[in-house]
Structure 1
Amino acid sequence: MSALHAGLDFGTTNSTLGLCGAAGAPRLLALEGEHRTIPSALFFSLEDGRTYFGRAAVHEYVDGAEGRFMRALKSILGTKLMGETTLVGRERLSFEALIGRFLAHLKGQLDAAAGAPVERAVFGRPVRFVDEDDAADRRAEGELASAARAQGFSHVEFQFEPVAAALYHESTITEERLALVVDIGGGTSDFTVVRLSPERAKRLDRRDDLLASTGVHVGGTDFDRLLNIAKMQPLLGLGSESADGKRRMPVWYFNDLATWHRVNLLYTPKIVRDAEDMVREAAEPEKLKRLVHVLRHRSGHRIAGAVEAAKIRLTDEPETAIRLAEPELTLEAPVARAEFEAAVAELVERIGGAIEAALETAGVAAEAIETVILTGGGAQVPAVFQAATGRFPGAEIARSDAFGSVGLGLAIDAARRFR
């Protein structure tokens, strides 16, 4: 049995692996070269038959290699899609098996680093995989546990991701603090009110210190989706009318094309034929011709990647442009931060509501919060940052490791549980 204890943060957008010895400080395992995060992405190449992971998967897809690209698989947990299969090359695979492929890749690196098979791990999970459906939420955790066990993790336990981030922050403080953890991930946002201190950190049972945890199914990919729908999908025909002016083009094609985990479902001969029919019927056929190109050349994730990159730039820039250029297709849409914030206002409002619910459940006023711990890439979005911190003017704002604090905290938790 390995002397290293593992915490695995399988994220919608990125994943990390934390390691902790019995008495040592936690660290993140380098997963791609020196990178300690890995995009939660797979590419099944039809050219060389290999499966690529992380940045290598993204590179193969963006470079135009023939194959199947998949990302944001965590978003499928607990949904009806988990009961379906999808064609990958000549093989039909379940979505649990696809998640398993990614976990197997991480476990191979974990075992190599530990020098022995690692059979026990603490996995992170959002407070809510699925909003307002307890059965689906339980099912999602079970599906992730099943995928992990199939890859050799015989003992799987779970910890809420914001709690893990709090455990990591707790290892850095010298006095007791009442904290709110704001974890804005790729697919979910979680909020935890917790008491932290060096003394409390020694306890194995922290239930009395956790005053409230709430979650909402809103994350970075949702921000991407709404920006995509607002700025890029109209270039492909969203909102266009038929030539006779009697109806608009069906919207579900465009909604799915803007949703990371549904893009691949559009790449079928039937949907391409449907799009070709819309070209003949449309008042703006040139836009629908672009849609046909995107479907034929499987460019949907490249558009989504361009949208995501523009969203990130808007963190520091008041305006930018979303650009995609490939043979026979060029798309460009200018976007100002104010436009982006208008497009995602409903998401920011839901985040603010979930924070208020956490405070209400904990029975504490906003003025009582002494530290706000921010983690997750989505917390960098200015509108989200304001929603998360604006109601706590007297609190210390702790910008935790945006992508690594959950994995580090899970490793700390694993060392406590398994020692």
Structure 2
Amino acid sequence: MTHSIAGFDFGTSNCAIGIAPQQQVQLLNFPEHGTYMPSTLFAPQSEMICGWLYQQLNAQGKAEAYRQARNQQLASSLRALKELKLDGYDEHLSFGKQALKEYLVDPADCYYVRSPKSFLGASGISQRQQQQFEDIAAAMMWHLAEQVRQSGQAELEKVVIGRPVNFQGLNSELSNQQALNILSNAAKFAGFKQTEFLYEPMAAGLSYQQQLEQEQRVLVIDIGGGTSDVSMLIMGPNYLATREHQDLVLGYNGERIGGNDFDIALNFETLMPALGSRLELEGGQPMPIKPFWDAAAINDFPAQTRFYGADTRNLLQRLLKQAQLSPLKGLLQLHKERQTYQLSAAAEQAKIALSSASSSQVDLSYLLDELQVRVELSAYQQACERLLNNIAMLSDEVIRQAQAQPDVIFLTGGSANSPLIRDFLSQRYQAPLVSGDNFGSVTGGLALWAEHIFA
């Protein structure tokens, strides 16, 4: 059976699409990715993304709105595509795991984006950068919609897209509006005829609600790849269909703290020292910390721009004249080969390993010969203390807004599997902790809400 109404989880770590005819949730299977597509994009050059997307849309007769919006840069992007082909390069985009594979072939000579959702609310981006984020999001949306079509489903027309409570940690409505504008424009370019948004923790709560037999106050803590969102919701059997949605919300809060930030904390506190972050300069002065933080902060667009800039390269080359700072050669190599995403992936694997072991070995020999770093669980726990306390502050504020304690805590999101996070929340709050499908709860709730408002 085909269905043109869907929930679209454009996630920081993964993307997924779900449908819910007759309130029965089904996550769709993408031929090239399975149920979830990692939120990554690879292009041989950034300049060709606009032209590539136009070609795909034009082949389906959907390009007019996009052509009008990109009239100025479209001709040059199409030329870039043509030149790539003449030079013997592939002129296609890749997504998901395939994007990572192609990036790792030559990180210094390509354009690779991981977790583009993390950048959508960034402050200080230019109009051209905002358009580039629209192109990236639209390309990913078009690709997944095409995957759905190839799998035999109907062409998606009406979608509900999940959004965090706050895209940035500054609680800035300007940042939120910027991010929503980018996603709205991208959805329009990708060919969706109608798009609505729903807070992700509320979507997760809707999935949990399906199993309830009586009313409960549920504290939904959704810890995703890029954000942590918390809501206190009144839930009960069939409340989705019989109660006004806004009346079920007793409080909500959110901040840009997610699984990526735990990776960054591990990276900065346990891996960067091997590249010189804690060394002293001549005269006993501390090492400038900014290059190390910028390198680790892969979810911060301005930080990554600074790290790969000439000022950082010149600083590292100047510091390397001091003999005792030779480990900085690894950081300079990271800069030269544009491998911050590769280092972040290594930190993520160490984090996963530490969920079931007391230590993990990280291979950094691609930065410095024979460099291996052992990461201890205790060091990781210490590195994450501030993040855990911030999540607790979000939850405490929502409980204060609701003026009531929760009957149950529903923990979901890709980072909800972490024993570190679960143990912390279990010790802090008295309510029982339950989990659903950590990766699929939001998608399922978005699908249920799409069916409710569009069908």
Alpha-carbon offset, residue 93 of structure 1: 6.8
CA distance 1:16–1:128, shift in 2 (3 Å)? same
Question: Is 1:356 aligned with 2:396?
Answer: yes
Alpha-carbon offset, residue 274 of structure 1: 3.9
1:298 maps to which of 338, 347, 355: 338
Hey, what's the Cα distance between the residues in 2 that align with 1:35 and 1:294?
32
Do 1:31 and 1:109's aligned partners in 2 also have CA atoms closer than 8 Å?
Answer: yes
For residue 434 of structure 2, give the secondary structure of its aligned residue in structure 1.
Answer: strand
For residue 404 of structure 2, give the secondary structure of its aligned residue in structure 1.
Answer: coil
Equivalent pairs: percent with the same residue? 29
Alpha-carbon offset, residue 247 of structure 1: 3.9
Q: More helix per residue: 1 or 2?
A: 2
Match of 2:92 in 1: 50
Q: 210-219 or 62-71, which moves further after superposition?
A: 62-71
CA distance 1:24–1:363, shift in 2 (3 Å)? closer
Aligned residue pairs, count:
406
2:214 maps to which of 154, 175, 186: 175
Match of 2:28 in 1: 29
CA distance 1:77–1:230, shift in 2 (3 Å)? same
Hey, what's the Cα distance between the residues in 2 that align with 1:16 and 1:95?
19
State the AA in 1 paired with 2:328.
L
Match of 1:382 in 2: 419
Hey, what's the Cα distance between the residues in 1 that align with 2:128 and 2:185?
16
Do 2:330 and 2:367's aligned partners in 1 also have CA atoms closer than 8 Å?
Answer: no
Q: What do the CA deviations read for 1:179-204 (whole angstroms, capped 9, x no partner)?
A: 11110011110111112222313226
Q: What do the CA deviations read for 1:115-138 (whole angstroms, capped 9, x no partner)?
A: 443222100011111233222223
1:404 maps to which of 434, 437, 440: 440
For residue 364 of structure 2, give the secondary structure of its aligned residue in structure 1.
Answer: strand
For residue 326 of structure 2, give the secondary structure of its aligned residue in structure 1.
Answer: helix
Q: More strand per residue: 1 or 2?
A: 1
2:196 maps to which of 153, 157, 161: 157
CA distance 1:93–1:394, shift in 2 (3 Å)? closer
CA distance 1:389–1:99, shift in 2 (3 Å)? same
Q: CA-atom RMSD, angstroms?
A: 2.4
Match of 2:291 in 1: 253
For residue 317 of structure 2, give the secondary structure of its aligned residue in structure 1.
Answer: helix
CA distance 1:34–1:277, shift in 2 (3 Å)? closer
CA distance 1:24–1:134, shift in 2 (3 Å)? closer
Structure 2 gaps, min length 5: 46-88
Q: 331-340 or 218-227, which moves further after superposition?
A: 331-340
CA distance 1:49–1:241, shift in 2 (3 Å)? farther
CA distance 1:299–1:284, shift in 2 (3 Å)? farther
1:289 maps to which of 326, 329, 342: 329
Q: 212-221 or 197-206, which moves further after superposition?
A: 197-206
State the AA in 1 paired with 2:133.
F
CA distance 1:32–1:62, shift in 2 (3 Å)? farther
TM-score (norm 1): 0.89
CA distance 1:45–1:102, shift in 2 (3 Å)? same
Do 1:32 and 1:38's aligned partners in 2 also have CA atoms closer than 8 Å?
Answer: no
Match of 2:8 in 1: 8
CA distance 1:303–1:3, shift in 2 (3 Å)? closer
